[in-house]
């Protein structure tokens, strides 16, 4: 019963470095989402996908890219990290009636 698994759970990056966050779900859900959570800002949608091979922009997509090559995986990339991208990142998968979340990734960019 893995549900939604995010890797890594913690990461410290230097400004300008790149990294990829991996989200994997085993529930055969079509929809997957990436959010960032900042104090006082709630969860803001970065990008999302409604099926394998599709992606769409959310509220705060700048500085991030995503890919959904396989239905069960949704990758979030930071090409050139900036201190403003310091945040907690959550992945979720859903099919209408409930979204299931990963445990979050705490990313610090110094």
Partner 1 sequence: AQTVTQSQPEMSVQEAETVTLSCTYDTSENNYYLFWYKQPPSRQMILVIRQEAYKQQNATENRFSVNFQKAAKSFSLKISDSQLGDTAMYFCAFHQGGSEKLVFGKGMKLTVNP
Residues that bind partner 1 (CB under 8 A): 30-31, 33, 35, 40-45, 48, 50, 56, 58-59, 88, 90, 92, 94, 96-99, 101, 103-104
For the bound state, the minimum distance from the C-beta of residue 29 to partner 1, rounded and expressed in Å, comes to 11
Distance from the Cα of residue 85 to its chain's centroid: 12
- Which lies closer to partner 1 via its Cβ, residue 17 or residue 71? 71
Residue 98: CB minimum distance to partner 1, A: 5
Question: E strands within 1-110?
Answer: 4-7, 10-13, 19-25, 31-38, 42-49, 56-57, 65-67, 73-78, 87-94, 99-101, 105-109
Q: Which is nearer to partner 1, 14 or 98 (CB)?
A: 98
């Amino acid at each position: 019963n893995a549900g939604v698994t995010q890797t890594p759970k913690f990461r410290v990056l230097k400004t300008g470095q790149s990294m990829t966050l991996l989200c994997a779900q085993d529930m055969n859900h079509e929809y997957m989402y990436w959010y960032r959570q900042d104090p006082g800002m709630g969860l803001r949608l970065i990008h999302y996908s409604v099926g394998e091979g599709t992606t769409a922009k959310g509220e705060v997509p700048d500085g991030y890219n995503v890919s959904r090559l396989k239905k069960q995986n949704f990758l979030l990339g930071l090409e050139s990290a900036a201190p403003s991208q310091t945040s907690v990142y959550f992945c979720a998968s859903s099919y209408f009636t409930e979204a299931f979340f990963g445990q979050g990734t705490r990313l610090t960019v110094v």
